[in-house]
Amino acid sequence: MSILPPGFRFHATDEELLLLYLKPKILGQPEEHYSNIIPEIDVCESEPWQLPAMFDRKFNRKELFFYCRVKRKYVNSRRSDRTTRAGYWKVTGKERAILSEDTNEQLGIKKTLVFYEGRVPQGKRTNWVMHEYHLNSKFLG
């Protein structure tokens, strides 16, 4: 992971995140200039409060960006496994469509997840929030 220059602020729109970062990552064709700005981790191997230290000087400590492959709860299942040792990430609210500013086509979706300490159903809600992006498969070519 490269260290960004002083004063650098990563402030990509949802559309930019999907088309300029996520799509090339999925296709294995990242742009050379900024392919290593967003690291790939397994978010469920760490607790949310451990993540800021992992990205010291890469992003501001309140907003982090990373790629993470979706784990499945069971081998032949569509259900995601978002558990950590101390708790779990739970989808909250509605999925939001991400639309192209030019064509108004749906590029993908954005889910909001909240971290709960403990196990289902007795978990205690925390202030940790994560946004999960999914690219519409028709944009993969």
**What is the per-residue pLDDT across 24-47, written as a single tens digit (0 to 9) for each?**
888 888 665 666 778 889 999 999
Half-sphere exposure at residue 53, Cβ-oriented, CA atoms within 13 angstroms: 5
Rounded Cα–Cα distance for residues 77 and 35 (Å): 31
pTM: 0.84
Residue 9 lies in a domain: no
Gyration radius of the chain's alpha carbons? 16
Looking at the 3D structure of the chain, how many domains does it have?
1
Parent domain of 48:
14-70+82-136
pLDDT (tens digit, 9 = 90+) per residue, 46-104? 999 998 888 766 666 678 888 998 888 888 888 888 999 999 999 999 999 999 999 99
Residue 4 lies in a domain: no
Residue 40 sits in a domain of what CATH number?
2.170.150.80
Sign of the dihedral defined by the CA atoms of residues 36, 40, 46, 52, in that order: positive
Q: Which residues, 6 or more positions from 129, have their beta carbon under 8 angstroms from its beta carbon?
A: 112, 113, 114, 115
Helix, strand, coil proportions of the chain in percent (round to 5)? 20, 30, 50
Residue 76 lies in a domain: no
Residue 3 lies in a domain: no
CA 100 from chain centre, in angstroms, equals 19
Residue 77 lies in a domain: no
